[in-house]
Homo-oligomer: A and B are copies of this chain.
């Protein structure tokens, strides 16, 4: 399972200066270059061994382990997930549903959001400002199933006043999310 060494060297410039003196929050800790590199690498492959990760970053395995644990404890790394292929899970048809609900209010929104996330067809729920209130990413086995989802589940809800569905031709997710600097630095 553990990946083989593809020799991707990660260049790390400075090593020290870990904790900020005057960060916004009390528990705010600065991400130095090593932390960023660890987060980047673990987003690429969360199952590489600690030894391999350490070797890529040119630090000792024990140091690396400590860093990873700290990142997890700090809440920077929130979990480790296997990613799956939707086609092999019999869900090749994807769509985006733009839904408007009424009346707008915290409780109604929260309840409808809970409802959406409980549906197995739903991959992702965005609560948005602007013309629509919800954008829902769904994946289903076929078009019939999408129709059934709309008719038997979504439209049955009293709060739904409008729903436009768009087919998704392609969906590419940026698998490595980097920290962004505060300013144009």
- Which residues in A have some Cβ–Cβ distance to B below 8 Å? 1, 31, 39, 42-47, 50, 65, 68-69, 72, 74-86, 88-91, 96, 113, 117, 120-132, 135, 137, 139-141, 145, 164-175, 177-182
In the complex, the count of this chain's copies comes to: 2
User: Quick one: which of A82, A124, A131, A164 has the most chain B CB within 10 A?
Assistant: A82
Contact indicator B82/A1 (Cβ below 8 Å): no
Q: Which of B45, B47, B81 contacts A83 (CB 8 A)?
A: B81
CB <8 Å contact, A168 and B126: yes
Establish whether residues B75 and A85, one from each chain, have CB atoms under 8 Å apart when the complex forms.
yes
| Chain B proximity of A117: nearest CB distance (Å) | 6
Give the nearest-CB partner of A47 in chain B: B80
